[in-house]
Structure 1
Amino acid sequence: MALSMLRHGLQSGRALISSVRLTPAATAVIKKRTIISKQFKEENPDKPKPWPYEKMSFTVWDTFSEDTADRFDENTRLIVIDGNVGVGKSYLAKKLAEELDFFLFPEATMDFKFIDDTGFDLRSISEHFPESLKPYDLERFYSHPKTIMTADFQYSMLALRLEQYIDALVHLFNTGQGVILERSPYSDFVFAEAMHKAGYIDNYDKEVYDKMRRNCREDILRPHVVIYLDAPIDTLLQRIKSRGVPCEQNNKVLTPEYLAEIDRCYKEQYLPSIKDHVEVLSYDWSTFGDPSHVVEDLERLPLDAMLDDRFESKLSDWRGFNDRGWDALRMKYTNEKRRLLVEAIYSVGRYNHPSLNAPYGDVELYNTAWETYYKPKYEKGFNEEDGNSIGLRFETDYRAMQRHEFFRTR
């Protein structure tokens, strides 16, 4: 098995191996605390129990009874796994989550937008909607990549990744458990770039996307670690064919040129842009590597030494907070997700452009079809026919109120 590790980024698409600067103080920290696999991790009996963030807010009053940082330990880390289509991210993410006892957030998909909390899939009634407002997901993109819905599809994917990333931060801050995600709002742009080069979105679409992307970086913390998996284009195409996902077979999008552009954007834009801010591990995944080796590499990372070094640029997003600062971040992510999404995505002006605004007549047809064919009549938990007791309840659970109307991230 060919397995190589990169810690300090890529240059001209070629891996460069760099040593990590260690001081005696840093070495002591590494011996004391680093990422630890669950078989060697000792549980702290004094660690507070997970906060029920899906049902409750976290307020200033709650900070008087507990400190957010009391939940943090060596595994309170946010890890993102990135790489091209078909490279093998999902398998590695699952194995790492099992080995480290991290919470896994599978890659965001349009299922999160179109399937609501009652289990109803909006795509099941898509034949009743006008063409300009039919639910447009990855399957439709692969079969019809150049439509007036293409740009909105990519905007939605960015919004979903941002929402999922915020949910990952919420989980980390309220439980102390580490989290693993497949891709993030930081790397989503590689798809927008490939779509733009292929002519699926135009210059104006790309300009709107870039504004949204810049906004996404304002209020979230970068990951502690990015794991990048690399494989040749021919290998990716073979894996895509072998895994047999119907919409990926013989489609118009997943061409060698499209995958090569994604590969280029990762290596020439994304990885160089983050290498000074996060710890990057890059692997040659042309033959599937051993996840246990990745765990060993994670255990060797001097993350606490970086956090303690005020001159170190890496992990600076996670440095400099006192107890009140951690509490403030926790309150923001737990209580204000809707505001963060609106400011990052939905506040960006979308002017009279055909790919951003549906015709008024189509909107009327859509609303009529919605009222006629949309099955769920109540929010989840409010249907007495399902045995729900309503009593004096006036709203859904707290976390549901924070979500976008259709988005769910797991």
Structure 2
Amino acid sequence: MALRWFRVFLRPGAALGAGTAVPKAGFHRSSACSLRYGWWAYMLGERTTPRFTQHSRIITVDGNLASGKGALAQRLAEKLGMLYLPEADCFYLDRRSQQTPLSSDFNGMCSLERFYTEPKAADGNSYRLQLWMYNMRLLQYADAVEHLLSTGQGVILERSPFSDMVFMEAMSKEGYIRKECVQHYNEIKGISICEFLPPHLVIYVDQPAEEVHKKLKQSTLSCLQAVPLAYLKSIEESYKKSFLPQISETSELLAYDVTQAQDVERVAEDIEYLKFDKGPWTEQDDVSYHHMRMLVEDKRHVASLTVIPRFLPEITVGAHEFDEKYFQFRALPGRKYAPGYNSDVGDKLIWLK
């Protein structure tokens, strides 16, 4: 299956980009050749709770396309001294390791631009894109939790795997994907999302679909100009009728219209007044944080959570095609061995490492 490439191309210990600079801490990095957190670290006294502060939170900013959530997330992170992670895209695997993004052949075999212009493509691009994006969001969320537990610094993300379902529901309602794909997605999400705690806080930026549609029509990208209004309305409806009522049971929830969301001082003040007294995070201790950190540090294990033996034409890859793509990937410069051990990209003194 195409998603198995998620594990093939995910190098162990690949470091994440630092994103936006913040004043309190650098982004936590883990290397395949360096000491990493594990059972011995916990036994020797490594604990998580002592490094937590009032801003040691996972915050996600959600909203429709082009609703201004990215600007709010970035400015809020700067205001609170938290790490800002831009929304994961199809090439997150390459960006997290600070590599030049490869072609879509090595990133899910899907295209967001093609989805906007041809949402009912006969080759199943829409569902490949949706499932790949869920995987990227799951990986980014694991990175965010690892950073939180390792440094104590809070993280603000755009969207999360918990809110990813709004796009699945919108695609299904508009007839972009088959019902078998919806069943497969729900099964994948059911066995993977349960391993993670929901964000401490969800901030929703509310902008009517009609206004979003007008804004996209003025975009310089032709693919965004092609996004239909019905699809945007379906996303908005899914947010308000499915995701927000569900996430409010386990996470704090703040909602603003576009004008209110521009007032970062007000949003930050509203966050200060929240008690954060509901949800599973209040039940955690150093033991559960230890197991959580062990999970999110092992990105290959995170990737394996989304792989089940199901045949779907949209995502199934034959053995010969898989081998062909695999060896093409290994033949790329710097991809044959672990980082630092490839002479074809100028690595030196390999025999001493």
Q: Residues 49, 322 of structure 1: CA spacing in aligned structure 2 closer, same or farther, 3 A cutoff?
A: farther
Residue 221 (structure 1) shift: 0.8
Out of 295, 300, 306, the residue aligned to residue 332 of structure 1 is 295
Out of 221, 234, 239, the residue aligned to residue 261 of structure 1 is 234
Residue 392 (structure 1) shift: 5.0
Q: Residues 377, 289 of structure 1: CA spacing in aligned structure 2 closer, same or farther, 3 A cutoff?
A: closer
Residue 300 (structure 1) shift: 1.3
SS in 2 for 1:391: helix
Out of 59, 66, 69, the residue aligned to residue 79 of structure 1 is 59
Alpha-carbon separation, structure 1, partners of 2:27 and 2:130:
34
Larger mean Cα displacement after TM superposition, 384-393 or 278-287: 384-393
Q: CA offsets per residue over residues 323-377 of structure 1, 9 Å max, x none?
A: 333223222322x33213212x11x2322x32132356655664676577x4444
Question: How well do the aligned residues superpose, as a CA RMSD in angstroms?
Answer: 2.9
1:149 equivalent in alignment to 2:125? yes
- Give the letter aligned to residue 118 of structure 2: H
Structure with max Cα Rg:
1
Long gaps (5+) in structure 1: 1-37, 307-313, 394-410
Name 1:139's counterpart in structure 2. 113
Out of 81, 85, 92, the residue aligned to residue 112 of structure 1 is 92
Out of 124, 133, 138, the residue aligned to residue 162 of structure 1 is 138
Residue 167 (structure 1) shift: 0.6
Check whether the contact 1:87–1:230 (CA below 8 A) recurs between aligned residues: yes
Q: Percent identity, aligned pairs only? A: 32
Q: Residues 257, 294 of structure 1: CA spacing in aligned structure 2 closer, same or farther, 3 A cutoff?
A: same
Alpha-carbon separation, structure 2, partners of 1:365 and 1:320:
48
Residue 49 (structure 1) shift: 10
- Give the letter aligned to residue 279 of structure 1: E
Residues 7-406 of structure 1: pairs in structure 2 closer than 5 A: 53-54=30-31, 55-63=34-42, 64-113=44-93, 117=97, 119-123=99-103, 135-145=109-119, 146=121, 147-249=123-225, 251=226, 254-285=227-258, 289-303=262-276, 306=277, 314-315=278-279, 317-334=280-297, 336-343=298-305, 345-346=306-307, 348-351=308-311, 353-359=312-318, 362-363=321-322, 366=325, 374-378=332-336, 379-384=338-343, 385-393=345-353
Q: Residues 245, 293 of structure 1: CA spacing in aligned structure 2 closer, same or farther, 3 A cutoff?
A: farther
Check whether the contact 1:50–1:176 (CA below 8 A) recurs between aligned residues: no
Residue 52 (structure 1) shift: 5.2
- Give the letter aligned to residue 338 of structure 1: R
- Give the letter aligned to residue 137 of structure 1: S
Task: Count matched residues.
Answer: 325
Q: Residues 319, 116 of structure 1: CA spacing in aligned structure 2 closer, same or farther, 3 A cutoff?
A: closer
Alpha-carbon separation, structure 1, partners of 2:132 and 2:185:
10
Alpha-carbon separation, structure 2, partners of 1:142 and 1:265:
19
SS in 1 for 2:124: coil
Long gaps (5+) in structure 2: 1-21
Q: Residues 56, 237 of structure 1: CA spacing in aligned structure 2 closer, same or farther, 3 A cutoff?
A: farther
Residue 240 (structure 1) shift: 2.1
Alpha-carbon separation, structure 2, partners of 1:91 and 1:69:
30
- Give the letter aligned to residue 300 of structure 1: Y
- Give the letter aligned to residue 318 of structure 1: W
Check whether the contact 2:109–2:128 (CA below 8 A) recurs between aligned residues: no
Q: Residues 199, 360 of structure 1: CA spacing in aligned structure 2 closer, same or farther, 3 A cutoff?
A: farther
Check whether the contact 2:30–2:36 (CA below 8 A) recurs between aligned residues: yes
Q: Residues 375, 290 of structure 1: CA spacing in aligned structure 2 closer, same or farther, 3 A cutoff?
A: same
Alpha-carbon separation, structure 2, partners of 1:355 and 1:111:
19
SS in 1 for 2:103: helix
Residue 123 (structure 1) shift: 1.7
Q: Residues 50, 226 of structure 1: CA spacing in aligned structure 2 closer, same or farther, 3 A cutoff?
A: closer
- Give the letter aligned to residue 150 of structure 2: N
- Give the letter aligned to residue 163 of structure 2: S
Normalising by structure 2, report the TM-score: 0.82
Q: Residues 364, 160 of structure 1: CA spacing in aligned structure 2 closer, same or farther, 3 A cutoff?
A: closer
- Give the letter aligned to residue 239 of structure 1: K
Alpha-carbon separation, structure 1, partners of 2:72 and 2:27:
26
Q: CA offsets per residue over residues 61-101 of structure 1, 9 Å max, x none?
A: 21223321111111111101011111111100110010011
Alpha-carbon separation, structure 2, partners of 1:363 and 1:220:
30
SS in 2 for 1:82: strand
Alpha-carbon separation, structure 2, partners of 1:198 and 1:377:
40
Q: Residues 116, 265 of structure 1: CA spacing in aligned structure 2 closer, same or farther, 3 A cutoff?
A: closer
Normalising by structure 1, report the TM-score: 0.72
- Give the letter aligned to residue 389 of structure 1: L
